[in-house]
Amino acid sequence: MYTSFLTLLQIYYKEHIYGRKKIKVKNKYVILYGTLVILFPVILTMLLGRINSKPENDNNIVLSGKYVILSDDTVTKKIDVEYFIPCVLMAQLPIDSPQELLKAQAVVIRTYIINKMGKKDSINAKELSLPYISYGKLREMWFAKYKKNNLRNIRGILCNISGMGKSIPYRENTQYLYGIIKKTNGMVLKSNGEIILPLFHQTSNGQTRSGSEVLGKKYEYLKREKCGNDIQQENYIGIKYFETGEFGNVLKEQGIIAYKDKKEIFVDKNVSTKELLGLIDISNRDKSGYVKIVKIGDTVVEGGVFAKALGLQSTDMTIEEYEKGIRITTKGVGHGFGMSLTYGAGLAGEGKTWKEILERFYDASIVEN
């Protein structure tokens, strides 16, 4: 009967999923088919019940005793920092990223949260400004991927037909992530006895930025590091186009109003491209090539503020004339301080440990908090 059940499911799968052929169920199968419909929940429970059960808390993670408060319109709950780290980690990196990179970034996330928390024992997630994915959403996300990747095997068929089995990938993935957390349990980055603010970004322009040069002595633990393979990333180059009038309007919408000789520049909609290019100065850069200060006429704007206002992916930029407006080309993704996740992945691929990866970007000690 079990074999017949699998056969019928496979027939159903081919007919309804792929539409490869029509299957005529003969009379002798009617009774069997009806029986299977009745027994389907029982059989499904036999196949999936063990995996659908609630995962045991057998990961032996040592709790920090510090909490992140999660809240929405209806529910407020708190979660230990150690169990919140996977939620942030999955918003930043794919689960199939190199293990040593995941470990390194887990330490960065923990350090960042504890730094922001200060002497308190808890902090609201909104105060962290860290994107995260809740465990509920992770369950849905992993299940959707699991169904897609297992269309041709019996367990995937059952999941697609019934919608059951969400704990299959959830259990596997959470236990995997808990293993990552356990390997770095409680470890943070410190400089001069203080927990640092471990800035990080997606992809550098080819080298990271010096904290002391740009942000001041307090951030001297942020090292300048050459990141050769970052320039090979597909999204390394970013390009945005603006007509002159559009450029001024976008800046205004973001609260940046440019003046020249005490007169607003973009009141006159007929500012030519050449005039605009003559008004913009992006020559003030740090040693890594990122623009620190943008001057538009007499108006001074911090490079990061300018980039955010225009939706640019980096402050390493060039601006040139293009048709009826300007073209802004950027290199890298993010502010350029601290660890480049792209280069970190490359280091992990070369066999570097999580500690060695962190040491490349931060002049800090790795200690237990």
Mean pLDDT, range 50-65, rounded to an integer = 60
More confident residue, 4 or 256: 256
* pLDDT (0 to 100) of residue 153: 67
Predicted pLDDT at 11: 53
The count of other CB atoms within 10 Å of the CB of residue 60 is 9
The residues, ordered by sequence, that sit 6+ positions from 111 with a Cβ below 8 Å of its Cβ are 188, 189, 195, 196, 198
Q: What is the pLDDT of residue 328?
A: 98
pLDDT score recorded for residue 155: 64
Question: What is the per-residue pLDDT across 69-114, written as a single tens digit (0 to 9) for each?
Answer: 998 778 889 999 999 999 999 999 999 999 999 999 999 999 999 9
167 — pLDDT class (breaks 50, 70, 90): confident
Q: Tell me the C-alpha distance between 305 and 282, whole Å.
A: 13
- Which has the minimum average pLDDT: 2-16, 150-164, 269-283? 2-16
Please give the helix or strand (H or E) that residue 139 lies within, else none.
Answer: helix 135-149
Mean pLDDT to the nearest integer, 281-285: 98
- The lowest-confidence range among 61-70, 151-160, 209-218, 247-256 is 151-160
pLDDT reading at 258 higher than 50: yes
Average pLDDT over residues 10-37: 49
Check residue 59 and give its pLDDT: 65
Phi-psi region of 334 (alpha: psi -120 to 50; beta: other; left: phi over 0): left
Q: Which pLDDT belongs to residue 16?
A: 46
> Which string of DSSP letters, residue by residue, matches 290-301?
-EEEEEEBTEEE
Tokens of 24: 């005529």
> Which pLDDT belongs to residue 324?
84
Q: 49-53, 273-277, 294-298 — which is least confidently predicted? A: 49-53
The Cα–Cα gap between 293 and 286 comes to 10
What is the overall mean pLDDT for the chain? 86
What digits encode the pLDDT tens for the residues 220-245? 999 999 999 999 999 999 999 999 88
Q: Is the distance from CB of 55 to CB of 169 less than 8 angstroms?
A: no
Residues 6+ apart with CB under 8 A from 120: none
pLDDT at 149 over 50: yes
d(CA 10, CA 127): 51
Distance linking the first and last C-alpha atoms of the chain = 58
The pLDDT of residue 163 is above 90: no
Q: Which residue has the higher pLDDT, 167 or 161?
A: 167
With cut-offs at 50, 70 and 90, classify the pLDDT of residue 68: very high
Residue-range domain boundaries for the chain: 2-52, 67-183, 192-198+207-228+339-364, 237-331
Residue 21 confidence (pLDDT): 46
